[in-house]
Every structure is written in structure tokens, then in C-alpha cells.
Structure 1
Amino acid sequence: MTLKIISAEKIEFEGTVTSVTLPGALGLFQVLNNHAALISSLKPGTMTYVVDGGKSETREIEGGVADIKDNVVSVCLY
């Protein structure tokens, strides 16, 4: 699936990943391939994603919105 991390200034990351874990308003949730369509607000916390090849990357976020649809995870950061 494709992950896009978008800030107000630019697309900070766009690439193929195998999973994404996000700090949702109701708690952490994980997105895998073929996840159901979903829109969620994000709270401050750690976002983790696994790129193809198995390397795990983490990033602290201040909040935002996640849009999951058709194996594309778009994370718009505040």
C-alpha cells in the first residue's frame, strides 16, 4: 500500500509500506493492506510505518487527519 505524509508545506514522504500504526483520537490503530475505508482524526503521539524490506520508521506527530482508501494512507499533519 502507499503511504503519503503531507504537511502544509510539502509532501514529506510518499512510498510503499506494509503497515502503518497511528495515534487515533480513540487510541492506536494499525492499517494493513486492503483496510476498509476510514477517516480519523489523529492526536499527538508516535506514528510508525514499515517500509518494504521490513525497516520500521517512527515519527512524532502533533496531530492531524488520516484518510485510508483503496490501499492509500494519506496522513495530513497539523
Structure 2
Amino acid sequence: MLRDIAPFLIPLVIFMIPIIAILTSHQRKMAELIHGNRANGNTNGEIEALRREVQELKQLVHQQTLQIDSISRYQLPQTSSQEKYTGV
């Protein structure tokens, strides 16, 4: 009986080895993706926090620029363009 089945079993085993290798490779890649997505969740939160911080810094720089502009307007003497060129 085994002699009758052996010609069918040998090619079956030969084809099963690469199929099993492909399946285990696929399973490993999927596990890496799943675990990578968990790590990405933390990274996305960090990126969002950095974006908020950059936005706050932009607002702060904008406010300080406006303050410097308003201070410089009050400190500079108002001279006409004719006085600048003629020295009058």
C-alpha cells in the first residue's frame, strides 16, 4: 500500500516545502506590520505634539514681531522725505 502511495507523496512533499516557506514568510511579515502599526501609533502622537509646539512657536514669533514693529514706530522720529534728503 505504501508503495502505491509513495509516487504521489514524494512530489506532494516537494511542493509543500516551498508553500510552507511562503506561508511562514507571509506570517512573519504580517506580524511585523501589526507590531509596526502599534509603534506607529506612538510616533503619530509624538508628531502631533511636535506640530502643536511648532504652531505655538510660530504664534509667539508673530506676536513678538508685531511688538517690535510697534515699539520701533514709536521710537523712530517721524521725518518727511524732504528732510531726509536736504538735511532741513
Q: Which range, TM-score by smaller chain?
A: under 0.3
Question: TM-score when scaled to structure 2?
Answer: 0.13
Q: Which has the higher strand share?
A: 1
Task: Choose between structure 1 and 2 for higher RCO, CA contacts under 8 A separated by at least 6 residues.
Answer: 1
Question: TM-score when scaled to structure 1?
Answer: 0.14
Larger Rg: 2
Q: Which has the higher helix share?
A: 2
